[in-house]
C-alpha cells in the first residue's frame, strides 16, 4: 500500500518489510545449518519453527476475533487456507518436539533399566 502524496510505502508496510529483513536470513541460515546436521541448526530450527507456528496461531486467532471487534464478516475460506498453510510449520514443530522429548528420556530410561537389573 502506497500513500498517494509522494508514492512512499506506508508505515505499516515498512514494519512488515523490516521484520521480513530480520527473519528471512535467520530462516535461510537455520535451514542450511539443519541441512548440514549441525548442532546449532537443530537449536535454531526448533526456535524458527516455534516462531513460524506462533505467526500462524496469531493470524488464526485474529481471524476468529475480527468479526467481534470490527464490522467485517467472518472469513471462513481465509481461516481454512491459514490452517492448511500453518500445517507446514505445525507438523515439523510437533515432530521436532517429539524428537527432543525422546532424546531427553533415553538417558534416564537407560539408567533406570541398568539400576533395576
Residue 91 falls inside a structural domain: yes
Residue 1 falls inside a structural domain: no
0.75 exceeded by pTM: no
Let me know: does 19 contact 56? Beta carbons within 8 Å: no
What digits encode the pLDDT tens for the residues 54-112? 999 999 999 999 999 999 999 999 999 999 999 998 999 999 889 888 888 876 665 55
Let me know: does 27 contact 48? Beta carbons within 8 Å: yes
Residue 3 falls inside a structural domain: no
Residue 5 falls inside a structural domain: no
Residue 4 falls inside a structural domain: no
| Closest C-alpha to 79, from 92, 89, 66 | 66
Look up residue 10 and give its DSSP letter.
P
Q: Kindly state the cell numbers that stand for 26.
A: 535467520
Residue 49 falls inside a structural domain: yes
What digits encode the pLDDT tens for the residues 20-63? 898 999 999 998 998 998 989 888 888 999 998 999 999 999 99
Residue 48 falls inside a structural domain: yes
Q: State the total domains in the chain.
A: 1
Q: Is the pLDDT score of 117 beyond 50?
A: no
Look up residue 2 and give its DSSP letter.
B
Q: Which helix (H) or strand (E) holds 77?
A: helix 76-116
pLDDT for residue 104: 82
Residue 61 falls inside a structural domain: yes
Q: Kindly state the cell numbers that stand for 92.
A: 515439523
Let me know: does 34 contact 41? Beta carbons within 8 Å: yes
Residue 19 lies in domain: 11-116
Residue with cell 524428537: 99
Amino acid at each position: 500500500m502506497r500513500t498517494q502524496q509522494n508514492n512512499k510505502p506506508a508505515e505499516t508496510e515498512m514494519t512488515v518489510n523490516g521484520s521480513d529483513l530480520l527473519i528471512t536470513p535467520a530462516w535461510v541460515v537455520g535451514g542450511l545449518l539443519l541441512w548440514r546436521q549441525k548442532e546449532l541448526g537443530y537449536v535454531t530450527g526448533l526456535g524458527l519453527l516455534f516462531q513460524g507456528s506462533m505467526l500462524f496461531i496469531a493470524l488464526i486467532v485474529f481471524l476468529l476475533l475480527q468479526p467481534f471487534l470490527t464490522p467485517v464478516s467472518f472469513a471462513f475460506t481465509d481461516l481454512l487456507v491459514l490452517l492448511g498453510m500453518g500445517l507446514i510449520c505445525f507438523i515439523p514443530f510437533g515432530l521436532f518436539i517429539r524428537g527432543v522429548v525422546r532424546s531427553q528420556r533415553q538417558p534416564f530410561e537407560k539408567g533406570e533399566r541398568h539400576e533395576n537389573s
